[in-house]
Amino acid sequence: MPKRTDIESIMVIGSGPIVIGQACEFDYSGTQACRVLRAEGFRVILVNSNPATIMTDPEFADATYVEPITPDIIELIIAKERPDALLPTLGGQTALNAAVALHESGVLAKYDVELIGANFDAIQAGENRQLFKQIVAKVADERGLNAESARSVICHTMADCLGAAGELGYPLVVRPSFTMGGVGSGFAHDEAELRRIAGAGLDASPTTEVLLEESILGWKEYELEVMRDRHDNVVIVCSIENVDPMGVHTGDSVTVAPALTLTDREYQNMRDVAIAVIREVGVDTGGCNIQFAVDPATGRMIVIEMNPRVSRSSALASKATGFPIAKIAAKLAIGYTLDEIPNDITKETPASFEPSLDYVVVKVPRFAFEKFAGADQTLTTHMKSVGEAMAIGRSFPEALQKALRSLEKKGSSFSWAGDPGEKQELLAACRTPHDGRLRTMQQAIRAGATVEELFEATSIDPWFLDQLMLIHEIATGITELDEPTLLRAKEHGFSDAQIAEIAGIDEVRVRDLRHALGLRPVYHTVDTCAAEFEARTPYLYSTYDEETEVPAGDRPKVIILGSGPNRIGQGIEFDYACVHASFELSRAGFETVMVNCNPETVSTDYDTSDRLYFEPLTLEDVLEVVHAELRTGPVAGVIVQLGGQTPLGLAQALKDAGVPVVGTSPESIHLAEERGAFGRVLAEAGLPAPRHGTALSVAEAREIAEEIGYPVLVRPSYVLGGAGMAIVYDEETLATYMAKAATDHPVLIDKFLDDAIEIDVDALYDGTELYLGGVMEHIEEAGIHSGDSACALPPITLGGHDIKRIRTATEAIARGVGVRGLLNVQYAMAANVLYVLEANPRASRTVPFVSKATAVPLAKAAARIMMGATVAELRAEGMLPAEGDGGTLPLDAPIAVKEAVLPFDRFRGVDIVLGPEMRSTGEVMGIDEFFGTAYAKSQAAAYGGLPTTGRAFVSVANKDKRAMIFPVKALADLGFEILATEGTAEVLRRNGVHAKIVRKQSDGAGPGGEPTIVRRILDGEVDLIVNTPFGSPGQSGPRLDGYEIRTAAVLRGIACITTVQGLAAAVQGIQHILRGDVGVRSLQEHARRLRG
C-alpha cells in the first residue's frame, strides 16, 4: 500500500520539557518523524514547548510552534494551520494525552483533523487497566493463547478481603480505590498485615473499596517492542529483559537486549500474545510496547501493560538493534507497509523482519539522589532515574562493564579495592533495590556470597548472577599482566583503570603495556542481521574480538564527543549542540564522527553523523576511537566543547596524548575554570568579581568568610550544575559544609550578592571578533542556579548602556581566556556594578534557547569557528546576521522566556525551594510579543498554567514583604480572593488588600475545626500559592511551615511561586491572559521578523 495522497499536512506534537520518565527519547522519535514526513512531501506543523530539542529547529518542520502543549493553545494552532492529520504517538504520554483531550473536546472533529498512527479506542484500551485486562482475557479465550493478567479481587469488607486472600495467597498488593496519589497502598505478607493495610484502605477509600491483587514481585520482567502496519503485518523489533525483577520500574532497572533467559517456547508464546493483544487493542499502525512478568518457578506468564505509542524503550530498542522504530512508525502512519520500507542499514532487505543481534546490549539508569536530600532512595515502581547509559558488547560482562563506566559516576564500576565489608550486611543491603545494587552485589561476592545467597536476596536470575561471578573470577585472576590475562580481562569489559586498580599500578602503564602487546579493541557494526547481510550504515561499537569493520573515508574527519547519560545539569541542551555541530560540519565537507553512550538522544541516531560510535566517554574509550579513525585517514579535530563537562574533562588528557583538540584550548579552559588564573584575567581586564577566596580547611574558610562578610556562596571547584553549592549565612553552617565537602578539590567561597539581577550571556569568539549571541536576564534574584531560574531574552530591564557594558566585559573575557567558539558568562548586576560570577568557555545549557529566541544557530556557528571559520565569514555566508547580534535586537523583537521544570513530584518529601544547586531536569520556552504573555506561556508549558481566578494564598519572608504588596494588590484587583498567614495578612491589610487570615500548619486546626492552610491546599481550595522561604534549612517553625505548604502544592499540582520577582511576572502574565492577548506564532514567522 503506497503513501496516502489524501492528506497534505500533518501536525506532530512533541513531549514538552524533559522530566523524569520522559526525556530526550521523544526528541529522537519526533525528529525522525518530522524528517520522514517532510521528505515524503508533507507539510509538517510541530508543537513542542521545549526549545532544547532538535525537532524544534526551524528546518525540521514547515511551521514550528514552541508553545505550551495545552489543548487551548493547540486549538489555536490547528485553527491557524488547519492540518489534515495529527500524529500523536511520537511525543510520549504528553502528546497522547493532548490528542485525547482534543478528541474529547471535539476540536479534532470541528477542524476535520484525522488522528493517524493511533485511534482513540486503542489509546483507551491501552491506558485503562480494566479494559486491558478484559482484552488479555479475550485473547486467551478466543485464540487459545496462554495469556493472563495478574489475578485480583475487588473487596468492600474485611470479610471479602480475607476470602480473597485465601484465593490469591500472600503476599498481596492492596490498592484502595479512588485515593489520591496511591495513598493507602501496600504489600500484605500475612493476615495481620492484611487486616491493618486493607482496614486502613477501606477507611481511606471514598467508596469503601480496595483491590487485592496477587503479588508478582520478584518475577522476571520482559518487554517486547512491536510494530504493526495497516496491512496487519507485525514484527517484534526487540525483546528486552530486566535484570532487576518485578518491583523496580523498567526505567530504573538494569536491562539487557535481547532477552537472555528465555527458551524459544517461552519467547514465542510471549510473541504470540503480544501480537494478539495489539490486534485486539486495535493499534492500527506504528510502534508500541508490551510488558510481561514470568514466574521463575513455574514459567507462568502475566501480561502487565502496553503503551500504544513509541516509548523510552523504543528508543532503546532502536539503538540496540539499528531498527529505527520512530522513523518506521512515521512511515506506517502515512500509509506505507513494512515490506515497502527498506531496512536503512542493509539498504537491500525490507523493514518487515525481526532484527537478529550478535551482541548484547545493556542499559543502566543514572540517578541524582544527591540532589534531593530527604528523598527515599529505594527503587520502586515509581521511576526516579534522570538518565541512562547504554553499552554494546559481544558478551554480557563486556556490555555490562562498559555500561557501568558509561555512567561516569564515581563508584558505579565494579571495584576490587579496599575491604568489601561484611557479607551478611551486604546481602541485607541487596534485598532493597537501590542505585548501584549490582555493585553492592559484586562487593557481596567479594565478601564470599554465593549465587544461591544472592538469588535469595534479590530474585535476580541465576544466569545473571553467575555472570557477576565470572567477572569476579576474571578480576581475581589478574595477578600478572601478561597477554592472556590482559586479553581475558579486556574481553570481559574491564577498563584499563579497573585493571590498574586491581594490579596496583597506574592506568597509563596498563594502557602502554596493552598497546605494546598490540591489544586493542576492534569495532563491529550494528547491522540488524547478525552479519547475514552487509551493513551500509556505519554504526559501531568496540569489542575485543577478531575483525574491525571501520570503513575508510575520504574526507577529513571531525570527532565530536557527546555528553553521556542525562543528569541534572547536563542533558539535552548539550546533545543539541553536538548534533548541530555534526550537521553543520558534515555540510561544510568534513566527515563527522560522533561518540556517545546515551540511547535517548538524537546524537546517537545513526542518521545524525557520518559515523556513530556507541561508546563510553572515558579517556580510554575515546583514545581507542581516535586511534581507530586515524588508521583510516586524517583526523582534523576532536570537539570537546559542546558536550558539557564530560568531554571537557577529557580535553587536557586528550591533548597530552597528542589528539588534536580544536576550539578553545585545554589550557584556556583551565584558565577559565581555575579561580586564581581567572581572577588574573579579570584583573587585567579591569572587571570586578564578587570578593572571594579559596579554602582547603574549615579554618581557612572561616577566615575568608569573615573577611568578605556573610552571606557567602560556597562550592567545590570544577562542577557543573552547581553540585554541592550552597549559600551560607553563618559560621556554624559553614563549618558543617566544609566538614562534608572534604575533597581533593578546594572549596570556592564567594561573597553572595543579595538582591542582584543575574545575567547570563552566550557569545561566540573567533579570536578577533565577538558575536554576542544573547543576553538573558534572570527573573529570580541571584543565588538561584541559572539552570533553575526563569530568564527573559531580550533582557526586560536592562538598557542599551548596560548591554554595552556586558558586551565589553564579555569580549575582554573571551580575549583574555583565549576562546575559540562558544563562551558563556554569568554576571550579577548589583548597585549598578556589573560583577563577573563565572565564565565557561563551552556550549552552555542556554545555547538552544538563545538560538531559537534569536533565530541564529549558535552551535553550528561555534563548530565552524572551532574548525577555523571567522565570525566575519559566517556573517558573509548568512549563517550569522550580516549586521548586529543578539545584543542589538530590535525593540519590537519577540520576548522569549525560559522556565525550568523541576522533578519534585517524583521526590516527595523534598523541599521544593530553589537554591544555588541545580535541580531542574528540563526547560520550556514561552515566546510572544510581550513579556507577560511570554511568561504566562512559559508557566503553562512548565506547570499547566497560571490561574486567572480563584484563591491565592500568600505567605512571604519579612525581607519580601515590601516588594510583594504591589503585585498582591494587583492580584486582588484581578478578582482573586487573598488568603495569607497572619504576618503577611497584616501588611496586606494595612496596604488596602483585604486578606483573609488562615491558620499555619504549625498552629494546627482551630478550636472550631478551622483547617490549616495545608489542609485547604490538599482539599483543592487554593489556586495559586505565593510562598517565599525564610529561615535556614533544617530549622523548625516557619521554614517547616513553608516546606509543608510547598509539598502540598506539589501534591495537588498547584502553581507555587517562591520568589517575589516570579510573582510580579505571574501577575503580568495573568493580566495578559485575561485580556485575551495570547496568540500563537511559529518560529519561522518570528525568524522572518528578526532576520528579514
Give the residues lining the site for another protein (CB under 8 A). 231-233, 235-236, 258-265, 267-268, 271-272, 295-299, 337-339, 348-350, 352-360, 394-396, 451, 461-463, 466, 470, 491, 524, 529-534, 544-547
- Residue placing its CB nearer to another protein in the complex, 349 or 736: 349
Taking the complex as a whole, the smallest distance from the CB of residue 236 to another protein amounts, in Å, to: 8
| Sheet strands side by side (includes 387-393) | 301-307, 286-294, 220-228, 234-242, 255-257, 360-366, 387-393
| Residue 291 in marked binding region | yes
Please, which residues bridge with residue 839 across strands?
A: 825
The maximal CA–CA distance of the chain, rounded, in angstroms, is: 84
d(CA 960, CA 1059): 8
- Residues 267, 259 contacting (CB under 8 angstroms): yes
| Residue 483 in marked binding region | no
The DSSP annotation for 426-463 comes to HHHHHHS--TTHHHHHHHHHHTT--HHHHHHHH---HH
Residue 91: helix, strand or coil by DSSP? coil
- Residues 68, 363 contacting (CB under 8 angstroms): no
| Residue 751 in marked binding region | yes
Please report the sign of the dihedral spanned by the C-alpha atoms of residue 451, residue 452, residue 453, residue 456.
Answer: positive
- Residue placing its CB nearer to another protein in the complex, 71 or 462: 462
| Residue 994 in marked binding region | no
| Residue 939 in marked binding region | no
d(CA 90, CA 60): 15
Nearest Cα to 240, choosing from 295, 316, 126, 352? 316
- Residue placing its CB nearer to another protein in the complex, 300 or 959: 300
∠ CA 904-908-913 to the nearest 5 degrees? 45
Nearest Cα to 537, choosing from 593, 600, 604, 612? 612
- Residues 503, 481 contacting (CB under 8 angstroms): yes
For residue 207, the tally of other CB atoms under 10 A from its CB is: 12
- Residue placing its CB nearer to another protein in the complex, 295 or 507: 295
| Residue 305 in marked binding region | yes
Taking the complex as a whole, the smallest distance from the CB of residue 1033 to another protein amounts, in Å, to: 48
| Residue 434 in marked binding region | no
| Residue 840 in marked binding region | yes
Nearest Cα to 1056, choosing from 954, 908, 920? 954
- Residue placing its CB nearer to another protein in the complex, 507 or 545: 545
Taking the complex as a whole, the smallest distance from the CB of residue 266 to another protein amounts, in Å, to: 8
Which residues have CB under 8 Å from 668's CB, separation 6+?
817, 818, 819, 841
- Residue placing its CB nearer to another protein in the complex, 338 or 968: 338
- Residue placing its CB nearer to another protein in the complex, 5 or 298: 298
The DSSP annotation for 275-309 comes to HHHHHHHT--SEEEEEEEEE-TTT--EEEEEEESS
- Residue placing its CB nearer to another protein in the complex, 1 or 1074: 1
For residue 402, the tally of other CB atoms under 10 A from its CB is: 29
What letter would DSSP give residue 960? G
The DSSP annotation for 188-201 comes to E-SHHHHHHHHHHH
- Residue placing its CB nearer to another protein in the complex, 112 or 466: 466
Taking the complex as a whole, the smallest distance from the CB of residue 758 to another protein amounts, in Å, to: 53
- Residue placing its CB nearer to another protein in the complex, 463 or 729: 463
Taking the complex as a whole, the smallest distance from the CB of residue 329 to another protein amounts, in Å, to: 17
- Residue placing its CB nearer to another protein in the complex, 236 or 914: 236
Taking the complex as a whole, the smallest distance from the CB of residue 546 to another protein amounts, in Å, to: 4
Taking the complex as a whole, the smallest distance from the CB of residue 438 to another protein amounts, in Å, to: 17
For residue 943, the tally of other CB atoms under 10 A from its CB is: 18
Cα–Cα distances in angstroms (integers) from residue 16 to residues 50, 67, 68, 107, 1089, in the given order = 5, 9, 8, 21, 25
| Residue 784 in marked binding region | yes
For residue 925, the tally of other CB atoms under 10 A from its CB is: 29
Q: Which amino acid is present at 143? A: R
Taking the complex as a whole, the smallest distance from the CB of residue 354 to another protein amounts, in Å, to: 4
| Residue 915 in marked binding region | no
Taking the complex as a whole, the smallest distance from the CB of residue 32 to another protein amounts, in Å, to: 22
| Residue 1086 in marked binding region | no
| Residue 394 in marked binding region | no
| Residue 562 in marked binding region | no
Taking the complex as a whole, the smallest distance from the CB of residue 243 to another protein amounts, in Å, to: 13
| Residue 838 in marked binding region | yes
Residue 340: helix, strand or coil by DSSP? helix
| Residue 560 in marked binding region | no
Taking the complex as a whole, the smallest distance from the CB of residue 231 to another protein amounts, in Å, to: 6
d(CA 487, CA 481): 9
- Residue placing its CB nearer to another protein in the complex, 373 or 530: 530
Taking the complex as a whole, the smallest distance from the CB of residue 268 to another protein amounts, in Å, to: 6
| Residue 880 in marked binding region | no
| Residue 249 in marked binding region | yes
Judging by DSSP bridges, how do beta strands 210-214 and 172-176 pair with one another? antiparallel
| Residue 195 in marked binding region | no
Which stretches of 831-930 are assigned E, i.e. beta strand? 833-840, 895-901, 922-928
Taking the complex as a whole, the smallest distance from the CB of residue 442 to another protein amounts, in Å, to: 17
Taking the complex as a whole, the smallest distance from the CB of residue 393 to another protein amounts, in Å, to: 9
| Residue 248 in marked binding region | yes
- Residue placing its CB nearer to another protein in the complex, 398 or 911: 398
Taking the complex as a whole, the smallest distance from the CB of residue 47 to another protein amounts, in Å, to: 34
Instruction: Tell me the three cell numbers of residue 311.
Output: 516509548
Which stretches of 505-587 are assigned E, i.e. beta strand? 522-525, 539-543, 557-561
- Residue placing its CB nearer to another protein in the complex, 261 or 415: 261
Nearest Cα to 1068, choosing from 933, 974, 881? 933
| Residue 175 in marked binding region | yes
- Residues 909, 374 contacting (CB under 8 angstroms): yes
- Residue placing its CB nearer to another protein in the complex, 276 or 407: 276
∠ CA 18-24-30 to the nearest 5 degrees? 110
Own/partner pairs, 668-674, CB within 8 angstroms, 24+ separation: 668/817, 668/818, 668/819, 668/841, 669/841, 669/842, 671/816, 671/817, 671/818, 672/813, 672/817, 672/839, 672/840, 672/841, 673/717, 673/718, 673/840, 674/717
Please give the annotated binding residues for ATP, written as ranges.
Answer: 129, 175, 181-182, 214, 216, 221, 247-249, 291, 305, 715, 751, 753, 758, 783-786, 826, 838
Annotated binding site for Mn(2+): 291, 305, 307, 826, 838, 840
Q: Which residues are annotated as a binding site?
A: 129, 175, 181-182, 214, 216, 221, 247-249, 291, 305, 307, 715, 751, 753, 758, 783-786, 826, 838, 840
